[in-house]
Amino acid sequence: MNTENSETTEAARAVRREGRPPTVFPVTLPGAEHTALWAEVDSIEPAAQEQLRNVAALPWTHRLAVMPDVHYGKGATVGSVIAMRGAVAPAAVGVDIGCGMAAVRTSLSAGELPDDLGSLRSAIEAEIPVGFESHDGSADLSADPGLRRRVDAHLGGFSTLRAPGIDERHGRAVAQCGTLGGGNHFIEVTLDEDQQVWLMLHSGSRNIGNELARRHIESARGLEHNLGLPDRDLAVFLADTPQMQDYLHDLHWAQEYALLNREAMLVLLENVVRRAFPQVTYSERVTCHHNYVAHETYDGVDVVVTRKGAIRAGRGDLGLIPGSMGTGSYVVRGLGNEASLCSASHGAGRRMSRNKARKTFTVADLEAQTRGIECRKDAGVLDEIPGAYKDLAAVIAAQTTGTEPLVEVVTKLDTVLCVKG
């Protein structure tokens, strides 16, 4: 891998070009104790600030770290990392349990790609179901028998799930393993700084994660200790209770499902590329969750950490921070900054809602902002236009510069092909 940090330097220049000295992160959020921000307070919309203050005020919150891609989210703020003592808030993980990234470097160079990538995009879309589509039965993983066994074994544990009424979702969970979904999920072909081709994708636990999360969130809202909360979405399960044990059991199952879903798609994607380029070989993979729960220790206290729109950035951890259609992504290495609860951003972060993006931009804007990239350029993906997202260079600069950086840049990945649901 290229370990030059030229992109980090350029990202820092992007901040300086705004005509003000760069902020030294972390900063504090007024009215929120034990909270550290890697974002300008005035850049966070008031609704998200209120969410963060509500989280910080919960009696179970040990610490709260806020990433530079922070924005208002349903249930809890996207870009928030919450460490709780003896409790977990299911909405602080969200409904796409285990959502995250996966990437693999190939032996291909940019010069081996054809000028027109349209047929490759069509082949990917034919192989990997997108949007609401699913496999007919289950994904063809004959190219990786070991993964097939792991997927089958995991799906065999479906009957152990504890959320009420979940049994009826079994067939759908089987058919959706190895599928992309819609929204901001994507499959990309990218080029690193050495002009080496990478394959990358972003997806989660599909409908089964959504169904499990919603059932447990609703269960938490009805518990007596949550009735006086300022925000019903911040309802928690308490340690050593059957409700928390049930939630964590289902959550860890969904997190593994999400990981296997991405691994299955990588196998299918590698097969597509291998048919087009028989000479290709594959090397290292990078994978990471960015909506998930982990059990960690900070300040000598064992805590339950929820990362909603954040990746783990422990020292040496490799991670992926995507931008949007047209802006590329970054491979990063964690620096183990405990002030951030060993975390970093999960992407650029939205700067406007999907509805506002549809009202603000046109298909012509989408075509202009994705010029040179093989991708959909129609009204169906207008809400994913690059202009609806924050500036990725500034987001990277916020966590790679100053006295307490969170990550270092390994390489930047520039998008040449993007598949959206």
Query: What is the number of other CB atoms lying within 10 angstroms of the CB of residue 115?
Result: 4
Residue 346 is a catalytic residue: yes
What is the DSSP secondary structure assignment for residue 191, as one 8-state letter? E
- Beta strand 407-420 with 186-191: parallel, antiparallel or unpaired? antiparallel
What is the DSSP secondary structure assignment for residue 193, as one 8-state letter? T
List the catalytic residue out of 62, 202, 290, 346: 346
Q: Is there a contact between 414 and 191 (Cβ–Cβ < 8 Å)? A: yes
Separation of alpha carbons 8 and 333, rounded Å: 12
Alpha-carbon separation of residue 187 from 190, 248, 343, 419 (angstroms): 10, 29, 24, 5
Q: How far is CA 8 from the centre of its chain?
A: 21
Q: Which two tokens stand for residue 186?
A: 């994507």
Quick check: bond before 26 cis, omega within 30? yes
Q: Is there a contact between 17 and 197 (Cβ–Cβ < 8 Å)? A: no
Amino acid found at 337: N
Separation of alpha carbons 47 and 396, rounded Å: 24
Query: What is the number of other CB atoms lying within 10 angstroms of the CB of residue 278?
Result: 7
Q: Is there a contact between 38 and 14 (Cβ–Cβ < 8 Å)? A: no
Chain position carrying tokens 């390489």? 411
Q: With b meaning 16 or more CB within 10 Å and e meaning fewer, what string describes 140-163? A: ebeebeebbebbeebbeebeebbb
Task: Give the residue numbers marked as catalytic.
Answer: 346
